[in-house]
Amino acid sequence: MMDTSQDHVAAPAPQPAPVTARKLKAADQIALQKDAAPLPAGATEACPLVKRSVIEARVVGDDGKPLMDVAVQLKKNAGEVLRGKTDLEGVVRFEQLEAGSYQLGLYQLDGDAWELEASEPLAPDRNSSQGEAEWAAPVSAGQVEEFTHRVRQGECTSKLADRYGFFADTVWNWPKNAELKLLREDKNILNPGDEIVIPPKREKAVVVETGMRYQLRRLGIPELLRIRFVEEGVARANIPYLISFQTQQGVVLCNRLGTTDADGVLVESVLPSITFAEVTLTDDLGDEVFQFTIGTIDSIDSDNGVLSRLHNLYFESAQGESGSLEELREAVREFQKFYDMDPTGVADDATRAKLREISLC
């Protein structure tokens, strides 16, 4: 009898897929279904944050040092801008920008008061931000018409230019100030009652690119303060000093150390807003303290201007009341005697010229 039996090898029973694999497959299926199915009307779908770019601006003065609290504007188009102010390092960052070109400017200043000095690419770790920038309506430079300012005691062209957002030479060389310029000669020595024309402010912007850092230079800032120290006609040369300043707003600035030059002159960079300085000279005999009010001296063609310079040089008189004609004549006479001039007591052209030479103003 034929044996019809066969050897049957039992196939292994199918095993269930690992739990993790089942979950992944299910997740893939759900994702496919989601992609295929349209969103209900009015529904929104969250999207990942888009990486944005950055533009940095750094504002410095003529001495290359950073300027704080300078208003900077980045313009996207005619109707959208970002605004900020520089920090202690003179830097402001504009973040969350779409890659491309923009316009950068110091919108509170006249166009001639600043310039683009340099640019460089940002390091990759500084050129990254996320989110959307909050654009606002643009701000204009403000004053668009010239006006006349009547000078008060303590004001000079540099202080006024700083107040109104100009480069001092722009104001001083404005055609309508030609007569005043001829009369006073020095832009920073004006008399109370002088009239100076402030020109219209002009807007300016430079084209910039994302991923870059731009250095802008504020022209005419800082100013130079020069004070000459003499004793009995001899320059106090190479004398160490300590100087501190106070602004018109009452802010006291950090002390600085220095040494007078061979002519006894101290030279320091100062902001136009400085109104007061205190200098301590230190020599073998000890310390001497001098205090100066900045920007209050009148022109040398006025009696007050002559007397102020004589007081600064310690040519004083006990004759007459303070500021009187008798006091002026006596102080002038003492000055003329000291410098071997005819002691007439009259501040003639030769006396004024000598006084200007000695006082540096």
Q: pLDDT tens digits for 184-235?
A: 988 988 999 999 999 999 999 999 999 999 999 999 999 888 888 988 878 8
In one-letter notation, the amino acid at residue 223 is E
Q: pLDDT tens digits for 247-267?
A: 777 777 778 899 999 999 999
d(CA 337, CA 353): 15
Averaged over 306-321, what is the pLDDT? Answer: 76
Domains along the chain? Answer: 51-135+204-218 (2.60.40.10), 147-198 (3.10.350.10), 223-359 (2.60.40.1120)
| 130 confidence band (pLDDT: 50, 70, 90) | confident
Give the chain's mean pLDDT: 83
Averaged over 112-120, what is the pLDDT? Answer: 97
pLDDT reported for residue 50: 67
Longest Cα–Cα distance in the chain: 163
> Do residues 276 and 245 make contact, with C-beta atoms less than 8 angstroms apart?
yes
d(CA 178, CA 90): 35
Q: How many CA atoms lie within 13 A of 174 on its CB side?
A: 23
pLDDT reported for residue 43: 52
| Stretch among 5-9, 123-127, 158-162, 282-286 having the lowest mean pLDDT | 5-9
Q: How many CA atoms lie within 13 A of 217 on its CB side?
A: 11
Q: Which of 250, 263, 276, 222 is nearest to 359 (CA)?
A: 263
- In degrees to the nearest 10, what's the CA dihedral of 339, 344, 349, 353? 20
| Stretch among 21-35, 175-189, 324-338 having the lowest mean pLDDT | 21-35
> Do residues 117 and 60 make contact, with C-beta atoms less than 8 angstroms apart?
yes
In this structure, how many other beta carbons lie within 10 angstroms of the beta carbon of residue 276?
17
pLDDT reported for residue 104: 97
User: What is the chain's alpha carbon radius of gyration, rounded to the nearest angstrom?
Assistant: 36
pTM of structure: 0.69
Identify which has the larger pLDDT, 119 or 203. 119
3-state secondary structure of 96: strand
Structure tokens at 226: 């020069």
